[in-house]
Chains A and B, each alone.
Chain A
Amino acid sequence: MTMRHNPLGLLAELTYRCPLHCPYCSNPLNLGDHRSELTSEEWFRVLNEAHALGVLQLHLSGGEPLQRRDLLEIVEQARKLGFYTNLITSALSLTPVKAEQLKEAGLDHIQISIQAADSTLSDRIAGTPSYQRKIEAARTVKKLGFPLTLNVVLHRWNIDQVAEIVALAEELAADRLELANTQYYGWAWHNRASLLPTWEQLQRAEVSVRDARARLAEQMQIIYVIPDYYSRYPKPCMGGWGRQQLTVTPNGNVLPCPAAAQITALPIENVRQHSLSWIWYDSPMFNRYRGSDWLPEPCHSCPRQAIDFGGCRCQAFQLTGDAAVTDPVCELSPNHAMITNAVRAVNQLSEPARATAKVTPTFNYRFRTGDRRP
Chain B
Amino acid sequence: MHEVTMASRPRLRSQARLQWDSVRQKRVLLSPEGVLLLNATADAILALCDGQRSVSGIAADLSSRYNHVVDQEVLAFFNRLLQKRLIECDDET
CB of B2 within 8 A of chain A? yes
With a cutoff of 8 Å between Cβ atoms, the chain A residues found around residue B85 in the complex are: 175, 221
Say which residue of B2, B17, B33, B35 sits within 8 Å of A176 (CB atoms): B33
With a cutoff of 8 Å between Cβ atoms, the chain B residues found around residue A108 in the complex are: 15, 17, 30, 32
Whether A84 lies near B30 (C-beta < 8 A) is yes
Residue of A52, A84, A111, A149 with most chain B CB atoms under a 10 A cut-off:
A84
With a cutoff of 8 Å between Cβ atoms, the chain B residues found around residue A109 in the complex are: 15, 32-33
Contact with A along B25-43 (1 / 0, CB 8 A): 0001011110100000000
Within A6-43, which residues are at the interface with B (CB < 8 Å)?
Answer: 6, 8-9
How far apart sit A148 and B32, CA to CA, in the bound complex (Å)? 9
Whether A149 lies near B33 (C-beta < 8 A) is yes
How many residues of A sit at the interface, in one of the four size bands?
A: 20 to 34
CB of B68 within 8 A of chain A? no
CB of A115 within 8 A of chain B? no
Q: Closest CB of chain B to A268's CB: distance in Å?
A: 26
Within B1-16, which residues are at the interface with A (CB < 8 Å)?
Answer: 1-2, 14-15
Q: Closest CB of chain A to B21's CB: distance in Å?
A: 7
How far apart sit A332 and B15, CA to CA, in the bound complex (Å)? 42
Say which residue of B2, B15, B35, B84 sits within 8 Å of A56 (CB atoms): B35
**A147 (CB) vs chain B CBs: closest residue:** B15
Binding site for A on B (CB under 8 A): 1-2, 14-15, 17, 19, 21, 23-24, 28, 30-33, 35, 84-85
How far apart sit A232 and B85, CA to CA, in the bound complex (Å)? 30
Whether A149 lies near B1 (C-beta < 8 A) is no
CB of A374 within 8 A of chain B? no
With a cutoff of 8 Å between Cβ atoms, the chain A residues found around residue B14 in the complex are: 145
Given contacts A108-B32, A149-B32, contact A6 B17 (CB under 8 A): no
Q: Closest CB of chain B to A54's CB: distance in Å?
A: 4
A-B contact sample (17 more), CB < 8 A, given A84-B35, A111-B32, A221-B84:
A8-B35, A9-B35, A52-B23, A56-B28, A56-B30, A57-B33, A82-B19, A84-B17, A84-B31, A108-B15, A147-B15, A147-B31, A147-B32, A149-B32, A149-B33, A175-B15, A221-B85
Contact with B along A129-168 (1 / 0, CB 8 A): 0000000000000000101010000000000000000000
**B31 (CB) vs chain A CBs: closest residue:** A84
**A51 (CB) vs chain B CBs: closest residue:** B23
Given contacts A108-B17, A145-B14, A175-B85, contact A54 B23 (CB under 8 A): yes
With a cutoff of 8 Å between Cβ atoms, the chain B residues found around residue A3 in the complex are: none
With a cutoff of 8 Å between Cβ atoms, the chain B residues found around residue A86 in the complex are: 32-33
Residue of B21, B24, B32, B35 with most chain A CB atoms under a 10 A cut-off:
B32
How far apart sit A57 and B33, CA to CA, in the bound complex (Å)? 7
CB of A217 within 8 A of chain B? yes
Residue of A6, A53, A176 with most chain B CB atoms under a 10 A cut-off:
A176
CB of A351 within 8 A of chain B? no
Given contacts A8-B35, A82-B19, A109-B15, contact A57 B30 (CB under 8 A): yes
